[in-house]
Amino acid sequence: MSPAAFIDLLRASRHCVVLTGAGISTLSGIPDFRGKNGFYRRTDVDAQKLFDLSYFMRDPDYYYTHARDFIYNLADKEPNIIHAQLARLEELGVVRAVLTQNIDLLHQKAGSRRVLELHGSPSRHHCLNCGREFSFESIVRTLDQGRSPRCDACGGIVKPDIIFFGEPLDPAVLGEADDEASRADLMLVLGSSLTVYPAAGLPVSTLRQGGRLAIVNADPTPLDSRAVGRHADLGEVFAAVRDALDAGEIAAR
């Protein structure tokens, strides 16, 4: 699928929904998980242990120590061309919703308003004992002081509202995402390997209702054969989208 064919799909769509994965944020300097330079290939941290709920309950300091330069430096990260153009497409009414597997908050930072965070968000943290809420900024301040956060009301473990291994997805968020996927006449899968369920099943909801699927991802996915096309280079495709938007070639809905 050429960038021009991708833009033609956007022009023809009346209800486009986007599913994004970690691959879209590599241009912002955030490593993906399963790519050649991904988080799972690091030797200094065990990614499975980092996001494992049972391990977190035993040793929350492991998470906060190793997530410091992965999650809690997001203020230093900026949206890239992909985030920016998706926000522009939403403003025009072309993109109706972004369903994201990411926890980097960059869609919101770019200006996207309808973002369904399938795997939760670090923007809020809660005490697992008394339920007290802590902001992302307060957690960063604590980590900057060289301390792991504990609840200052009861001393309980403070956990980010990220979905860890061993936790179910929020049924309300997943239900809303599946509804959007079922209504879509076009789903764009961007930077996702489509191997992590249940998020990876959302494109099937689009296909089941007669919608089309287009994939832009560096590596093959299990749904490539059911897509109308696949392109490997996100930067190339979204440079073309930016140029088309600048030229007024994608109309508002």
- The residues annotated with a catalytic role in the active site are 119
Alpha-helix runs per DSSP H in 26-185? 47-50, 53-58, 60-66, 81-91, 106-110, 136-144, 171-183
User: Can you say whether residue 238 is alpha, beta or left, with left for phi > 0 and alpha for psi between -120 and 50 degrees?
Assistant: alpha
73 CB-near residues (< 8 Å, 6+ apart): none
Task: List own/partner pairs for 209-213 with CB under 8 A and 24 or more apart.
Answer: 209/182, 209/183, 209/184, 210/185, 211/184, 211/185, 211/186, 211/187, 212/9, 212/185, 212/186, 212/187, 213/186, 213/187, 213/189
